[in-house]
Homo-oligomer: A and B are copies of this chain.
Amino acid sequence: MQIATPYLMFLGDVPDRLAAKTAYGIVDWRPEWCIGQMRLPGCAADLGIPDLTLPEALAKGCRTLVIGVVNAGGVLPDHWVSEIVAAIKAGLDVASGLHVRLGAIPAIAEAAQANGRTLHDVRHTRESFATGKGTRRPGKRLLTVGTDCSVGKKYTVLALEKGMRARGLDADFRATGQTGVFISGRGAAIDAVVADFISGAVEWISPAADPNHWDLIEGQGSLYHPSFAGVSLGLLHGAQPDAVIVCHEPTRTTMRGVEHALPTIREVIDLTLQLGRLTNPDIRATGIAVNSQALDEAEARALLAALEAEHGLPATDPVRFGVDGLVDRLVAEFPETAKS
Q: Could you tell me which A residues sit within 8 Å of B by CB distance? A: 131-135, 190-196, 198-200, 224, 226-235, 237, 257-260, 275, 278-279
Q: Which residues of B contact A278 (CB under 8 A)?
A: 224, 226, 229, 260
Q: A134-B258, A194-B191, A260-B134 are in contact. Are A226 and B237 (CB under 8 A)?
A: yes
Q: Which residues of B contact A135 (CB under 8 A)?
A: 258-259
Cross-chain contact B199 with A226 (CB below 8 angstroms): yes
Looking at the assembled complex, report how far the CB atom of A190 sits from the nearest CB atom of chain B, in whole angstroms: 6
Docked pose: A227 CA to B131 CA in angstroms: 6
Q: Which residues of B contact A259 (CB under 8 A)?
A: 134-135
Q: Which residues of B contact A234 (CB under 8 A)?
A: 195, 229-231
Docked pose: A228 CA to B197 CA in angstroms: 8
Cross-chain contact B235 with A230 (CB below 8 angstroms): yes
Chain A to chain B: the 7 pairs with minimum beta-carbon distance, closest first: A230-B234, A134-B226, A191-B196, A132-B227, A131-B227, A230-B230, A230-B233
Looking at the assembled complex, report how far the CB atom of A266 sits from the nearest CB atom of chain B, in whole angstroms: 15
Partner of A199 from the list B132, B230, B237 (CB cut-off 8 Å) is: B230
Looking at the assembled complex, report how far the CB atom of A101 sits from the nearest CB atom of chain B, in whole angstroms: 14
Docked pose: A196 CA to B124 CA in angstroms: 13
Q: A226-B278, A230-B233, A234-B230 are in contact. Are A257 and B198 (CB under 8 A)?
A: no
A sample of 25 cross-chain residue pairs with beta-carbon separation below 8 angstroms, ordered by A number, consists of A131-B227, A131-B228, A132-B226, A133-B226, A133-B227, A134-B227, A134-B260, A135-B259, A190-B195, A191-B196, A192-B194, A192-B196, A195-B195, A195-B198, A198-B230, A199-B228, A226-B237, A226-B278, A226-B279, A229-B233, A229-B278, A230-B232, A230-B235, A230-B237, A231-B234
Q: A134-B260, A230-B233, A278-B224 are in contact. Are A194 and B196 (CB under 8 A)?
A: no
Cross-chain contact A196 with B228 (CB below 8 angstroms): yes
Looking at the assembled complex, report how far the CB atom of A262 sits from the nearest CB atom of chain B, in whole angstroms: 12
Docked pose: A74 CA to B224 CA in angstroms: 39
Q: Which residues of B contact A279 (CB under 8 A)?
A: 226
Looking at the assembled complex, report how far the CB atom of A221 sits from the nearest CB atom of chain B, in whole angstroms: 9
Looking at the assembled complex, report how far the CB atom of A197 sits from the nearest CB atom of chain B, in whole angstroms: 8
Docked pose: A19 CA to B196 CA in angstroms: 22
- A195-B231, A260-B278 given; 9 more Cβ-contact pairs under 8 Å: A131-B227, A131-B257, A134-B258, A198-B230, A198-B231, A199-B228, A199-B229, A230-B231, A230-B234
